[in-house]
Amino acid sequence: MCPYGLRGCWLGLTIKDGIMNILQLVPKLNIGGVEKGTVEVARHLVLTGHKAVVVSGGGELEKNLAAIGARHYKIPIGRKNPFIMLYCYFKLKHVVRKENINIVHARSRIPALIGYFAARRSGRIFITTAHGQYRKHFISRVMGWGKIVIVANETMARYMRDNFDVPLRKIVIVPRGVDLKKFSFELPSRHVGKTVRIGMISRFTPLKGHLDFLKAVSYVSRKMPNIEVIMMGDKLSAKEEYIKKIELTIRRLTLGSVVKFVSSREDVAKVMSSLDVLVSANREQEAFGRSVIEAQARGLPVVATRVGGVIENVIDEKTGLLSEPGNPREMAEKILRYINDLSLSQKIARAARKHVEENYSIQKTMALTMAAYARAREEKKILVFKISSLGDIILATPSLKAIRERYSGTPCVKVLVDVRFRNVLTNCPYVDEVITCDFAERDKGLGFLKLAAKLRAEDFDMSIDLQNSKKSHLLAFLAAIPERYGYDNKKMSFLINRKIGLPEKPLQPVEHQSCVLGLMGITRIENKLELWPDKSDEEWVEQFFKDSWLKDGQKLIAFSISASRKWQSKNWGVSHMAEIAGMLAKQKGVRVVLIGAKEDKELGEKFMKKTKAKPINAIGKTNIPRVIALIKRCDVLLTGDSAPMHIAAAVATPFVSIFGPTDPARHVPPASKQKILYKKQKCSPCYESVCLKKMKCMTAIKPAEVYDALVDMANG
């Protein structure tokens, strides 16, 4: 995990026992850095007892896979034709299931797009390796969708973070490795009259800067006539127009007698052993530069352009010489420095070899790759939907604890809540992060799709829907979460793929959630709510009561005077509450504190006019953390069926709750000390927000009953 910076991208990688079946995706298996890396990983997987499978459009390296015992499926997975991509999607799903693949590892954009959906549909882990600094468009974004995104260096880590919003915690740095035995070290030497050989090894594509390289060696040839130029790469796979441009440049610069093309099928180490200088002439950002570290391992001096990740390998004047991109004359000067100064070549060769040994051995690359696979397999990322309301979020705390205990070790648990309630889970030890949504403003309309994209980028392994609404079911689906747990409640629940039918009889709230958790093998949930007030909020409450002239040792009862503005049928009535406040003050010396939202200020003023007692009016003066601390400080709470009741249960404050239109059996939270006042009528529970029958269920509850219940709780 890397929440605090790039350095963390190198950390936290451990391997556990267990066989892994790994599928790598590349467009073709022609000779190139990406393809060689694919074969190297496959070889290591086979040698260490794992299964290695590769899907590609075929190529020269197919035979290498067969020789090492890896399996290859030839599918045109690099083609951009939408119909071919759809065909590849179905073929790839078949391979994933047939080979029982654990991890789908994509190394290029089009294969990644196909592989992402095939992996998600099959419930497999998807990871990527970002090999290049891709242009910013939709298809490139898929390279950041992996549960883990592997990059070769810190330059690429920053690029993926800054350009594709990939969180650093998802990024793992795995430098490409070089076989130090194959590229054995040989100190540069010079022989009088010997032809100086200058080489460039790369794909034939404009960003590699072949034309700049040719201009540079043209400058060199004027001062050093006995030179030979080697250009190694696969001309057959390059665009014909670009090859013609290279050949035309050679003729214009009269280099025909000194330039020699070498096929990429030749042994790279052997070609390098014949060179005196290697040039990397990239004009655009280069992610890594495999040929550079191979040359450095071999002892071959390198001139490289100052772009991208290459500058992490070529430290100017220490492990190589750097020139500005697109500046052939400066490049020529750096080449001539090597040719004319053998001691410089040897000094840099020694330092470069040491740098490669310490940072880029094939053994280190394979160890970090295997660790990345293990991490992707071991880590569980869980999204819990509990969007609203305040009381319902509090009711979810036992479930959050059970989820954390079920996936002990390295689970990452995040909860999606309404932005209004973002502080409810402050200090919760069972949650790693609270993600907020705002369906009233930010996340409505097009914002809903942006929220889904944000969740998809998190790459969750599973979602647990404790909200079970149309919005939450749709979000889980659009976020492409493989395992989506929830109730089959006909609220677009066809989008949930791990579901259970609704209970036939009313259940208490925590028990109701446990049915969904049972699908995950969670059989025990502690029937206890929790909240974690911050010390600063508790100190604020103490000062607030001190300023309100609360006497030391005086009993304090909180009145929640409005259960809900939406649910007027839940409100017992200000007049009755004001009467009880007077009785408590006169007969028991008890002080009352009024709590409520800013919208309840008018009710609070009405309350103050109806009583001779001197209640403390905290309506509209507290936020959620402070009202939690306030209720915790009180001796008793009087409330309707509302959030303060759940807060009291969570902070162990005794409460008296008045129920009417809703069923206590379904909504009363677990609590050690509680008193529920409920006078069931023929029409109750009706679950109507406005009562048309004179609120008989509420008026049947008399002030004397409430007063007695409060006194009992305060004395108990």
The 10s digit of each residue's pLDDT in 494-540 is 999 999 999 888 788 888 888 999 998 898 889 899 999 999 999 99
220 vs 411, higher pLDDT = 220
Alpha carbon 705 to its chain centroid, in Å, reads 53
Q: How many CA atoms lie within 13 A of 237 on its CB side?
A: 19
Distance between CA atoms of residues 550 and 541, nearest Å = 11
Q: Span 78-84, mean pLDDT?
A: 94
- Structural class in CATH, domain 536-715: alpha beta
Summarised one tens digit per residue, pLDDT across range 440-455 is: 999 999 999 999 999 9
Total residue length of the chain = 716
pLDDT of residue 85: 96
pLDDT of residue 6: 46
CA angle 523, 526, 528 (to 5 degrees): 150
Distances (CA, A) of 445 to 401, 418, 438, 450: 34, 16, 11, 9
Does position 465 have pLDDT exceeding 50, yes or no?
yes
pLDDT of residue 10: 45
Q: Read off the pLDDT band of 287 (50, 70, 90).
A: low
Residue linked to tokens 């006909």: 490
Q: Span 634-657, mean pLDDT?
A: 95
**CATH superfamily of this structure's domain 6-173:** Glycogen Phosphorylase B; (3.40.50.2000)
Please confirm whether the linkage preceding 399 is cis (ω < 30° from 0). no
* CA-wise closest residue to 287 among 14, 37, 105: 37
Summarised one tens digit per residue, pLDDT across range 363-399 is: 999 999 999 999 998 888 899 999 988 999 999 999 9
* CA-wise closest residue to 652 among 639, 630, 671, 637: 671
289 vs 396, higher pLDDT = 396
- Give the start-to-end residue ranges of the domains of the chain: 6-173, 196-359, 379-518, 536-715
Summarised one tens digit per residue, pLDDT across range 533-563 is: 999 999 999 999 999 999 999 999 999 988 7
Say whether 37 sits in a helix, a strand or coil. Answer: helix
Neighbours of 473 (CB within 10 A): 25
Distance between CA atoms of residues 133 and 140, nearest Å = 9
pLDDT of residue 617: 94
Main-chain phi, psi angles of 542, to 5 degrees = -60, -40
Give the mean pLDDT of the chain: 90
pLDDT of residue 8: 40
Q: Read off the pLDDT band of 139 (50, 70, 90).
A: confident
Say whether 284 sits in a helix, a strand or coil. Answer: coil
Does position 117 have pLDDT exceeding 80, yes or no?
yes
CATH number of 196-359: 3.40.50.2000
Decide: residue 519, CB within 10 A, 0-12 exposed, 13-18 middle, 19+ buried: middle
Query: What fold, for 379-518?
Result: Rossmann fold (3.40.50)
Q: Span 109-117, mean pLDDT?
A: 95
pLDDT of residue 5: 43
Q: Span 226-243, mean pLDDT?
A: 91
Q: Read off the pLDDT band of 154 (50, 70, 90).
A: confident
pTM of the model: 0.69
Does position 164 have pLDDT exceeding 60, yes or no?
yes
Distance between CA atoms of residues 75 and 84, nearest Å = 10
Does position 665 have pLDDT exceeding 50, yes or no?
yes
Q: Span 401-409, mean pLDDT?
A: 84
Summarised one tens digit per residue, pLDDT across range 291-331 is: 899 999 999 999 999 987 788 889 999 999 999 999 999 99
Distance between CA atoms of residues 214 and 204, nearest Å = 13
Highest mean pLDDT pick, 171-180, 555-564, 574-583, 623-632 = 623-632
Does position 3 have pLDDT exceeding 60, yes or no?
no
Does position 237 have pLDDT exceeding 50, yes or no?
yes
Distance between CA atoms of residues 515 and 293, nearest Å = 56
Main-chain phi, psi angles of 474, to 5 degrees = -70, -40
pLDDT of residue 379: 84
Same CATH fold assignment for domains 196-359 and 536-715: yes
Distance between CA atoms of residues 275 and 648, nearest Å = 79
The amino acid sitting at 661 is P
Q: Read off the pLDDT band of 199 (50, 70, 90).
A: very high
Percent of the chain past pLDDT 90, that is, above it, reads 65
243 vs 307, higher pLDDT = 243
Q: Span 195-203, mean pLDDT?
A: 93
Q: Read off the pLDDT band of 133 (50, 70, 90).
A: confident
pLDDT of residue 447: 95
Q: Read off the pLDDT band of 457 (50, 70, 90).
A: confident
Say whether 199 sits in a helix, a strand or coil. Answer: strand
Summarised one tens digit per residue, pLDDT across range 34-60 is: 888 999 999 999 999 999 999 999 998
Does position 711 have pLDDT exceeding 90, yes or no?
yes
Distance between CA atoms of residues 602 and 604, nearest Å = 5
Structure tokens at 523: 């059989």
Yes or no: say if 256 and 250 are a contact pair by the CB < 8 Å rule.
Answer: yes
List, in sequence order, every residue forming a beta bridge with 380; answer none if it has no partner: 411
Q: Read off the pLDDT band of 192 (50, 70, 90).
A: low
Does position 7 have pLDDT exceeding 50, yes or no?
no
